[in-house]
Amino acid sequence: MMVLEGPAANGMGKSIAGRLSCDFGKIEHKLFPDGESYIRMPPVIGDSFAVVQSTYAPSEKHLVELLFMIDALRDMNKKEITAVVPYLAYSRQDRRFREGEAISINTVLRLLADSGIGRLITVEPHRKEPFSSFSGKYTVIDPVEKFAEVLSERIKSPFIIATDEGDMERAKRLADLMECDYDFIEKERDPDSNQVSAVSSINSDLSGKEAVIYDDVISTGGTIELAAKIAISNGAAKAVAVASHLVMAGNAYERMISAGISEIYGSNTVPFSRCHVIDVSGLIAETLVSE
C-alpha cells in the first residue's frame, strides 16, 4: 500500500505511512491566483492507495481537492483507493429540522461513494446513521480507548459529562474505561442564533471531582462553556474538555478558558495547537491494514 498525503492531512499521512512502513508520497498543491486549487499526484508505486485528506475549513475546498486526487489516481488506472478523511465535514448536518433544508452530510457521503473509492475511513462522525445509506465499504474509528489511555494518566478523579442525552453512550464508554461515573446535560440550540442553553442539568455532586466534558466536535465552544459552568457550580474541582475534533471556530478557545476549562484534549484530525494533542494516526494505520 502507498499512503498519499493531501494538503489538508495535518501531517497524518506521513505518520500513518511511518507506522505501516509503507510507501509514502506528498501530493503537490498550490493555489492559482483566482483561488482555485492545483493538485498533482507524486510518482506512485503499486496498486493500492490510501489518500489522506481531512475536511476541516475551508471544508468544501478540502472535499473537492480530495475528489480531484481520487480522479487523478483513477486517471492513472488505479482502482484500489481508500479515502482517509480524519475529520468529515458536514457530519452535523444530518437531519432536516425544517422543510426544504439540505441534509448536507448525505451529499458529502454520496460524493465520496460516487468517486469510486473502495473504502472510506473516518474518525468518529457526529452520528453513524447517515452512513447506513453509504453505498461503499466504510469504517468509522472510535478513538475512545486512546482518549481513555491518555486521560487516565492525567486525570485522577474523573467524572464524565456528556453534552447531550444522545451522547450518553459515548460518555458511558469513556467512563467505563476510566472506571468512573458519568452524567449528561441536556441542551437546546436555537436554530437561528445557534446559541445553546441548558434544559436540564446534572444531579450528581461533583465535589472533588475533575469534570471531563466529552463531545465529538467542539465548534463555537458554547456547549462546553455551558457544561463547564454547570460542572463547576456542582462542585467540580476542575473541568477539562475532550473532543475528537477541535474545530474551534472564532473565539472558542478564549470562551472555554473563561468558562473555567483548564485543559483541552483533542485528536489531530483538525489542526489546533493550543491543546493536548492525542495522535490518532496509529488507530487509522491499524484500520487501514484490517478488514
Residues with catalytic function: 187
Q: State whether the Cα torsion 151-196-246-274 is positive or negative.
A: negative
Q: Does 75 bind its own copies (CB under 8 A)?
A: yes
Among 11, 18, 58, 208, binds its own copies (CB under 8 A): 58
Question: How far apart are the C-alpha atoms of 89 and 54, rounded to whole Å?
Answer: 8
The window from 62-70, 143-151, 257-265, 272-280 that contacts its own copies (CB under 8 A) reads 62-70
Q: Does 61 bind its own copies (CB under 8 A)?
A: yes
| Type and span of the H or E element at 41 | none
Count of chain residues binding its own copies (CB under 8 A): 51
Q: Which one, 33 or 203, has the nearer CB to its own copies?
A: 33
Residues 6+ apart with CB under 8 A from 120: 82, 83, 85, 109, 112, 113, 134, 136, 137, 138, 139
The window from 100-108, 123-131, 162-170, 235-243 that contacts its own copies (CB under 8 A) reads 100-108
Residues 6+ apart with CB under 8 A from 193: none
Among 42, 136, 260, 271, binds its own copies (CB under 8 A): 42
| Type and span of the H or E element at 240 | strand 238-246
Q: Which of residues 104-143 bind its own copies (CB under 8 A)?
A: 104, 106-107, 110-111, 114
Among the listed residues 291, 288, 269, the one whose alpha carbon sits nearest the alpha carbon of residue 49: 288
For helices 12-20 and 281-289, the axis angle rounded to 10 degrees is 50
Q: Which one, 174 or 241, has the nearer CB to its own copies?
A: 241
The window from 42-50, 126-134, 261-269, 283-291 that contacts its own copies (CB under 8 A) reads 42-50
**Nearest distance from residue 193's CB to its own copies, in Å?**
11
Q: Which amino acid is at 137?
A: K
Q: Does 63 bind its own copies (CB under 8 A)?
A: yes
CA 270 to each of CA 42, 54, 98, 170, 243: distance values in angstroms, whole numbers, following the listed order: 24, 7, 30, 20, 11
**Nearest distance from residue 35's CB to its own copies, in Å?**
4
Name the 3-class secondary structure at 216. strand
Residue with cell 486525570: 155
**Nearest distance from residue 257's CB to its own copies, in Å?**
18
Q: Does 46 bind its own copies (CB under 8 A)?
A: no
Q: Which of residues 177-196 bind its own copies (CB under 8 A)?
A: 194
**Nearest distance from residue 76's CB to its own copies, in Å?**
8
Q: Which one, 30 or 154, has the nearer CB to its own copies?
A: 30
Question: How far apart are the C-alpha atoms of 242 and 131, rounded to whole Å?
Answer: 24
Q: Which one, 163 or 234, has the nearer CB to its own copies?
A: 163
Q: Does 254 bind its own copies (CB under 8 A)?
A: no
In eight-state DSSP terms, residue 2 is E
Among the listed residues 171, 196, 191, the one whose alpha carbon sits nearest the alpha carbon of residue 181: 171
Q: Which one, 175 or 248, has the nearer CB to its own copies?
A: 248
Residues contributing to the site for its own copies (CB under 8 A): 28, 32-44, 57-61, 63-65, 67-69, 71-72, 75-76, 89-90, 93, 96, 98-104, 106-107, 110-111, 114, 194, 219-220, 247, 249-250
